[in-house]
Amino acid sequence: MSEIDECVRKFALLRIAKVFNVSVDSLRLENKFGEELKARSSSGIFKKNEYDQIENDIYDVANRQAYKKLSSGNLMIRTVGDYCDYMIRSYEVKPTDVKHVLEIPNDVPT
């Protein structure tokens, strides 16, 4: 794994930890959304829960090909590792968007 890949993975893990309000050290790549990582129920019509935030991240960095696969169900992000790998692949095509979504500071070499 390249240094860039490791950096993106690190910030993807930090993003998940922040969204789900858990320690980054408690995350494992095999943790599943909906099982080990549960969302609070959202109260209110426009209030987003953790799953909504992660889904927004995924679509925010999707290129046309990824969007089609996601929309058709041919690409599913079920685990922390899936999310990290997806962000790494997306960084190759849309680095600015991935940096924005994962809140990677500009001074971090990527």
pLDDT score for 44: 66
Nearest to 81 by CA among 20, 32, 33, 29: 29
Residues 12, 16, 20, CA angle at the centre, nearest 5°?
170
Q: Residues 19-78: pLDDT tens digits?
A: 999 999 999 999 999 999 998 876 666 778 999 999 999 999 999 999 999 999 999 999
Q: Is residue 76 part of a domain?
A: yes
- pTM recorded for the entire structure: 0.92
Report d(CA 83, CA 42) in Å as an integer: 22
Query: 3-state class of 33 per DSSP?
Result: strand
Provide the domain count of the chain: 1
Domain carrying residue 77: 3-101
Q: Is residue 17 part of a domain?
A: yes
- DSSP-derived secondary structure letter, 96: H
